Every structure is written in C-alpha cells, then in structure tokens.
Amino acid sequence: MDLIIDGEAHKVNNFVDFLIENYAEGGKVYNFELIIKDKYDKRLIDKRINTLQDNLLIFMNDEFEIIDQSIFNDYDKFITGVGDLFTDDIDEKINKETYKNQFVKYELKVSDGDQKSDFSFYYLNLNS
C-alpha cells in the first residue's frame, strides 16, 4: 500500500506502525491518504479500520490497548478506564490540565481506485 505524505507516495507494509513511529506529536491532527494496491492491502486496511475506527490506541509499558475514544472526554473516566488496563499509576504520566494535548489524531482517506472512504483514530503514547 502507499501512504501519501505531502503529495508523495511512500510504500509501507504497516501504516499504523509507520504513523506512530514518524508522526506522533501530541496535540496534532495528521491527515493522510492510503492507496490500496491489491487485495492483501484491502484486507489489512479493512481489518485496521474495523479495529481502530473512532477508537483510542494507547501505548504503555511496551504494550498496546485499544479503547473507545469517547472515554477521553471525561478525565476521571479516562484515568479510571486506562488505570484498569495498566498496573502503573496512570496519573503519574498524565494530568488533568494537559492530558488532551497528549493525544494524536489520525484522519485517513482510503482509496482503491474505485471506492473512497474515511476513517480516524487517536493515539496516546504513555510509555515515556
């Protein structure tokens, strides 16, 4: 598959890994286009869309968790929900005043030549 960045096509095997490794500045919204090249790309992208659409991907303690993104609109729910997933004290890594500025939003347009669709997801790195 190709990931279009600033008008240039970049061949990627795993667009999620590529995005979170290269475009993960907290508080930013990134817009990209994915071009499906074959049925394998389509299968992988469809799977990622089903898993990540409107969800929050959290990285902490060298592991990933996916939760409903609506949880982060309420700080107390967020801290409780994420705290249940990880053993560390989550409030040592994030605070009420700045926590929304730590999220990264990805908005992607997906095209296979005939069909186009959009999807988005959020990412939060609490590993640092």
Q: Residue-wise pLDDT tens for the chain (128 aa)? A: 899 988 899 999 899 999 999 999 999 999 999 999 889 988 999 999 999 998 999 988 788 989 888 887 888 888 887 877 776 677 777 888 888 888 999 999 999 878 888 999 999 988 86
β-bridge partners, 39: none
Per-domain boundaries in the chain: 2-125
CB 123 within 8 A of CB 48: no
Q: Which two tokens stand for residue 24?
A: 């993960």
Q: What is the pTM of this model?
A: 0.87
Q: Which has the closest alpha carbon to 58: 112, 10, 127, 108? A: 127
